[in-house]
Amino acid sequence: RPARAATRRQAGQSTGDIVISHPDRVVYPEDGITKQQVADYYASVMRWFLPSVAGRPVSVIRCPEGTAKACFFQKHMIQGLKHVGSAKLKEESGAQATYIYPLDAVSVIELVQFGVLEFHPWGATVEQPDRADRVVFDLDPGDDVGWERVVAAARLVHRRLSQLGLESFLRTTGGKGLHVVVPLNPGCPWPQVKDFARAFAGTLAQAHPLEFVATASKARRNGLIYVDYLRNSRGATSVASYSLRARPGAPVAMPLRWAELGKLKSGRDFDIRSTPKRLARLRTDPWAGVDTLRQNLDQVMKKFG
């Protein structure tokens, strides 16, 4: 059921099957962006956005009263949702919990109706929650790290991954940093993925101690870039490509071609207004091939001994 393209709507009109209540409520107060504009944004980028969340357990950030009031990072089922998938999955604690996963465009718009602004999928699908299909290196610059250094860091991560025979993909976060994503042959057990991510980050920090830190407890060290490899365990999430962020300016997490890295000015270069324009101009997917690459970590892990 495709979401209908966004046009001007009045209160009570529907997006697909979903009625957006309080369409004129301003959810981004600094920018005057309304709940209806958020729904329209997701409807207009749906073709690009949906593959990054469909069939994956997602955590969401809900700001029912807008970003000026309380926002919630929510991992589990929200009462009243009718158009999303739900799956009982084991928690770290061993207990079972009900996770949600978008099925289609209607799921996404229903979540927006429930106040969701940000989508954060697992690196796994509901069918195989115990097996990862991607590694995410989350580059988190400390407070006084200039943008050129973040760019250089992403390039270095890209090059080192290539040297290991791994193709990787670049995304802005809509925040301070960048993500480098390595698609895997679906079916990598989480412990292997976690070992690889830790080893890669550790090796990087050892080789470039004035540039990187890979220890969570030293994460916010000034002057260094934290290679946050902890995105890579069962149940951990990272922001979805094309997701909005609940931050001033309504920035978007944007997948890019590596060739575009040099043109970036920050992790916040794209937002709710510029993203649909960019997508309208794009001829090919900047992440073309990401879902068909079958990369395996078995050989790579041997290089780390």
Strand ranges of the sheet holding 225-228, from the earlier edge strand across to the other edge: 212-213, 225-228, 131-141, 178-189, 169-172, 255-256
Residues 49-78, mask of contacts with ligand ATP (x by CB under 6 A): ------------------------x-----
Window 78-137: residues binding ligand ATP (CB under 6 A) = 120
Q: Is 241 in the site for ligand ATP (CB under 6 A)?
A: no
Residues 154-193, mask of contacts with Mn ion (x by CB under 5 A): -----------------------x----------------
Find out whether 69 and 121 touch, Cβ atoms under 8 Å.
Answer: no
Q: How far apart are CA 118 and CA 246, in angstroms?
A: 7
Residue sitting closest to ligand ATP (CB): 175
Find out whether 139 and 130 touch, Cβ atoms under 8 Å.
Answer: no
* Beta strand pairing call for 33-34 and 58-62: unpaired
Task: Give the nearest distance from C-beta 219 to Mn ion in angstroms.
Answer: 8
Q: Is 118 in the site for Mn ion (CB under 5 A)?
A: no
What does each C-alpha distance from 132 to 16, 129, 169, 188 come to in angstroms?
A: 32, 7, 16, 5
Three-class HEC string of 36-87: HHHHHHHHHHHHHHHHHHCCCCEEEEECCCCCCCCCEEECECCCCCCCCEEE
Task: Give the nearest distance from C-beta 165 to ligand ATP in angstroms.
Answer: 26
Window 121-160: residues binding Mn ion (CB under 5 A) = 138, 140
Task: Give the nearest distance from C-beta 290 to ligand ATP in angstroms.
Answer: 18
- From the list ligand ATP, Mn ion, none, which binds 237 (C-beta under 5 to 8 Å, kind-based)? ligand ATP
* Residues in binding contact with ligand ATP, number by CB under 6 A: 14
Task: Give the nearest distance from C-beta 247 to ligand ATP in angstroms.
Answer: 8
Q: How far apart are CA 40 and CA 34, in angstroms?
A: 10
Residues that bind ligand ATP (CB under 6 A): 73, 120, 138, 140, 173, 175-177, 228, 231, 237-239, 267
The footprint of Mn ion (CB under 5 A) covers 138, 140, 177, 228
